[in-house]
Amino acid sequence: MDKIKIIGGNPLFGKVFISGAKNTALPIICASLLTDEPVTIQNIPFLSDIKSLNALLLQLGTQIEAKSEQRNGHLTQTITYYTQQPTSLIAPYDFVRKMRASYYVLGPLLTKYGHVELSLPGGCAIGARPMDIHLSSLEQMGAQIEIKNGYVVADIKGRLQGAHITFHSASVGATCNILMAAALAEGTTVIENAAKEPEISDLINMLNKMGANIEGANTSTLTIYGVEKLHGTTHEIINDRIEAGSYAVAAAITHGRVELVNAPAQYLQAPLDILRKCGAKVEIIDNGFTVDAQNATLYGQDIYTDYYPGFPTDLQAQFMALMCVAEGAAMVTESIWENRFMHVPELMRMGANINVHGHASAIVRGVKKLSAAPVMSTDLRASFALILAGLVADGETTVNRVYHLDRGYEHLEEKFKAIGADIERIKIPD
């Protein structure tokens, strides 16, 4: 398990190239299972989550051909997925436990091949993460579903049937799964209270390019007119708003100036508003935005995480790190996940002043300085928050268990080094 060592104190200056969005790539890769023609996906980030999903698709019988290419000023991956006929309809425990978004094979395999066995992913560090919406929606579309030995075993006779479905929560995962399932269903499916995240709109674009007929992108009511067959396509995925938001905080917290190249500012309104209210200058430029906090005094701002277009839960930890060293107090409320404050004790070990109230709220009172410490990554976004704290702490911080970061931040040390951070990966042999 590698470690990351950071020596704090350097303001960050320069450019960070933002990569393709992990949370778009994952469902879009699985959408390739809906056709027996090749599907080429451009702008896939180099991340361990992508490798894990590719490993699952390989064992389902998908042929995968990857090439690296320069796009939009930096190195990206283009991968072609070709599933002529799956050799297995089972997503085993060993794959799903490594990468829970493996559950995106559920909708495509069931609707196209009539059967699927998916290991239930179980909870994770940030919450229980149930799948009831995915499963009950498929049942409403006519699937027979049983839970056996930790697996979801789903079958259909003929095709899934269109249905009118209302989600009790605007789940990103369930919206993607049911969109993919309904694309090949018989008849029309309507999803009410669907998630509106940009990653979903990108999936809808891609499915429509494959021959699906989906209306309502960017709204909470999606109408999917089922078709009999989908075909191959080429699709370039959108860039990662969460990665962009994370580096935006790095610029602000270090009182530097960073240009986020290829960053989708249009999907970051809520977090960029908070950064501006904190006192950083945020300027939208062609193909990205800049964050400038040189000589700025930063003030704490309240944050309430919510479904898109609200403030993303996936930026809560990073913004909390910023509030730790801002003037005044900030109330951080997490409304999506029931256990997403695990970074708090680690930040407190570095001198942060945070009081957690129940599961959902924390008061952060800004301190003048954090002090370096060995800390432990608990999940992907929390790990980045600890790096941010390390960038402004006195001395040398080591962040342990960095495999979390490798899941979701492409070439992290290289990107940080390029803007002047004193950061290094310490390889620990297995």
Distances (CA, A) of 125 to 9, 22, 198, 307, 338: 31, 19, 25, 20, 10
User: Which two tokens mark 33?
Assistant: 């299972």
| Coil, strand or helix at 382 | helix
Residues 6+ apart with CB under 8 A from 266: none
38, 61, 92, 130: residue in contact with ligand UD1 (rule CB under 6 A): 130
Residue 110 exposed, middle or buried by CB count within 10 Å (0-12, 13-18, 19+): buried
Told to check if 83 binds ligand UD1 by CB under 6 A, we report no
| Coil, strand or helix at 29 | helix
Nearer to ligand UD1, 174 or 261 (CB): 174
The Cα–Cα gap between 295 and 314 comes to 28
Told to check if 129 binds ligand UD1 by CB under 6 A, we report yes
- Closest contact distance (angstroms) between CB of 338 and ligand UD1 is 7
Told to check if 314 binds ligand UD1 by CB under 6 A, we report yes
What binding mask, one character per residue, do residues 187-226 give for ligand UD1 by CB under 6 A, x or -?
--------x-------------------------------
Catalytically annotated residue among 124, 176, 278, 324? 124
Nearer to ligand UD1, 200 or 326 (CB): 200
Told to check if 173 binds ligand UD1 by CB under 6 A, we report yes
The Cα–Cα gap between 318 and 34 comes to 36
The Cα–Cα gap between 292 and 315 comes to 19
Determine contact, residues 170/307, Cβ cutoff 8 Å: yes
Q: Which helix (H) or strand (E) holds 28?
A: helix 22-31
User: Which two tokens mark 356?
Assistant: 């957690």
Nearer to ligand UD1, 25 or 265 (CB): 25
Told to check if 172 binds ligand UD1 by CB under 6 A, we report yes
12, 91, 110, 133: residue in contact with ligand UD1 (rule CB under 6 A): 133
Distances (CA, A) of 31 to 155, 197, 379: 19, 17, 26
Nearer to ligand UD1, 316 or 398 (CB): 316
Please state the φ and ψ torsions of residue 279, each to the nearest 5 degrees: 120, 0
How many residues contact ligand UD1, by CB under 6 A? 19
- Closest contact distance (angstroms) between CB of 53 and ligand UD1 is 10
Told to check if 11 binds ligand UD1 by CB under 6 A, we report no
Told to check if 23 binds ligand UD1 by CB under 6 A, we report yes
Told to check if 41 binds ligand UD1 by CB under 6 A, we report no
* Strand blocks (E) in 99-219: 115-119, 144-148, 151-155, 164-166, 188-192, 213-215
Alpha helices by DSSP H, 165-324: 172-183, 198-209, 241-253, 269-278, 316-324
Part in contact with ligand UD1 (CB under 6 A); list of ranges 105-113, 127-135, 211-219, 264-272: 127-135
Nearer to ligand UD1, 101 or 274 (CB): 101
Part in contact with ligand UD1 (CB under 6 A); list of ranges 63-71, 165-173, 179-187, 214-222: 165-173
Nearer to ligand UD1, 49 or 292 (CB): 49
Which residues inside 372-401 make contact with ligand UD1, applying CB under 6 A? none
Question: How does DSSP classify residue 124?
Answer: B
User: Which two tokens mark 359?
Assistant: 């599961």
39, 79, 131, 165: residue in contact with ligand UD1 (rule CB under 6 A): 131
Task: Examine the residue annotation and report whether 124 is marked as an active-site residue of this protein.
Answer: yes
Residue 299, Cβ neighbours under 10 Å: how many? 15
Told to check if 270 binds ligand UD1 by CB under 6 A, we report no
Told to check if 240 binds ligand UD1 by CB under 6 A, we report no
| Coil, strand or helix at 160 | coil
65, 69, 94, 132: residue in contact with ligand UD1 (rule CB under 6 A): 132
Q: Which helix (H) or strand (E) holds 397?
A: strand 396-400
Told to check if 365 binds ligand UD1 by CB under 6 A, we report no
HSE, side-chain direction, 13 A CA sphere, residue 172: 21
The Cα–Cα gap between 427 and 5 comes to 11
- Closest contact distance (angstroms) between CB of 343 and ligand UD1 is 14
Nearer to ligand UD1, 134 or 235 (CB): 134
Told to check if 345 binds ligand UD1 by CB under 6 A, we report no
- Closest contact distance (angstroms) between CB of 246 and ligand UD1 is 12
Catalytic residues: 124
Binding residues for ligand UD1, per CB under 6 A?
A: 23, 26, 101, 127, 129-134, 169, 171-174, 195, 313-314, 336
